[in-house]
Structure 1
Amino acid sequence: MKALELKIPPPVVALLCAAAMYAVGRAAPAAALGTAVPVLWVALPALLGLSADLAGVWAFHRHRTTVNPLTPQKSSAVVQSGIYRFTRNPMYLGMALLLTAWWLWLGNWLSLLVLPVFVLYITAFQIKPEERILLAKFGTQYQSYLLRTRRWI
């Protein structure tokens, strides 16, 4: 399945998953949560996700390295500060949190099944290929970062 590696931009994958969550919810109304989810429960993961996304982009901008997930070979630095001290993939984590907020907004248990699909797809076809490329490019500096910082959280 190497043909899928670094091919679909992660925001597109997230949007496709959001659409799938919506479709699943519409197809299975019987799986509704039963009660309305408080707005705060939706807002919290949405705000955390947006914050993680923006913090990741800002850190890349500060280090003048590419934010394009399809061309990790163009990276000019291993960013290890800011949010990157806690997660190697804050932008993907942010997307997962936004999908969590979307699931809560939709209020359908079955829609939640799409979230692991997003995480597994991004891990297999985006993160692992990025890690291979960055390890080849930055060597021991990136290797020590891999050992020190978790992939997701």
Structure 2
Amino acid sequence: MEPQPNTEPHARPKRLLPPVALLLSIAAMIALDAWLPIVELPAASPWDAWLRWLGWAAIVAALTVNSAIALSFKRRGTTVFPFRESSVLVTGGLFRRTRNPIYVSMVVVLLGVAAVLGSLGPLVVVPLFMLWITHNVIRVEEQMLTAAFGDDYHDYQRRVRRWI
């Protein structure tokens, strides 16, 4: 049975939304770092401060990109929310490089969190998040976009990769 888009503005989502999955992933990373620290950089290491600064910069940059994309969608009169019908096929800007820049930026947030934590253990969450988002969100969105935009979306899929 195909999942149905949630088109009602105040309807309760039937699926876990990507921002919630991102927050749960961050929580899992913090828990892994606390309970199973694997290959941690010593706090006195010259790389420690640099890595943490780089992590925070990645988080801020990724969240800025997400905000800019959300604003761009709003200006075009379409929704940024998954599982809702899109009224416009957005293919410009970052969407020329990846069909899912919002999800790519979420992965960058997770990589930034791992850098801030200074441990390799939390990195195990990143591929799990990518697998989950691909299977539970991106594929559903692709079906909805194919139904809404047909050949235009197929052409876009041929030109632009799903991730990067």
Q: Which amino acid aligns with 2:62?
A: G
Q: Deviations over 1:49-103 (max 9, x none)?
A: 12331232122112110111132xx210100111111111111111111111111
| Conserved 8 A contact 1:24-1:110 | yes
Structure 1: which 5+ residue stretches go unaligned? none
CA separation in 1, counterparts of 2:121 and 2:56?
A: 20
Equivalent of residue 83 in structure 1, options 82, 91, 94 = 94
Counterpart residue number, 1:105: 116
Structure 2: which 5+ residue stretches go unaligned? 4-13
Q: Deviations over 1:14-53 (max 9, x none)?
A: 0000000000000123531334241442133223312331
Counterpart residue number, 1:61: 74
- TM-superposed CA distance for 1:116, in Å, is 0.6
| Conserved 8 A contact 1:56-1:84 | no
Counterpart residue number, 2:7: none
More helix by share: 1
| Conserved 8 A contact 1:63-1:77 | yes
What is the root-mean-square deviation in Å for CA atoms of aligned residues? 2.0
Q: What is the TM-score normalised by the length of structure 2?
A: 0.83
| Aligned CA distance change for structure 1 residues 30 and 119 (closer, same or farther; 3 Å) | closer
Question: Where has structure 1 moved over 2 Å in runs of 4 or more?
Answer: none
Counterpart residue number, 1:43: 56
Q: Percent of aligned positions with the same letter in both sequences?
A: 36
| Conserved 8 A contact 1:100-1:115 | yes
Q: Deviations over 1:109-146 (max 9, x none)?
A: 11100011111100110001110111111100001011
Larger radius of gyration: 2
| Aligned CA distance change for structure 1 residues 57 and 14 (closer, same or farther; 3 Å) | same
Q: Which amino acid aligns with 1:63?
A: R
Equivalent of residue 27 in structure 2, options 19, 24, 34 = 19
| Conserved 8 A contact 1:65-1:76 | yes
Q: How many residues align?
A: 149
Q: What is the TM-score normalised by the length of structure 1?
A: 0.88
CA separation in 2, counterparts of 1:84 and 1:41?
A: 25
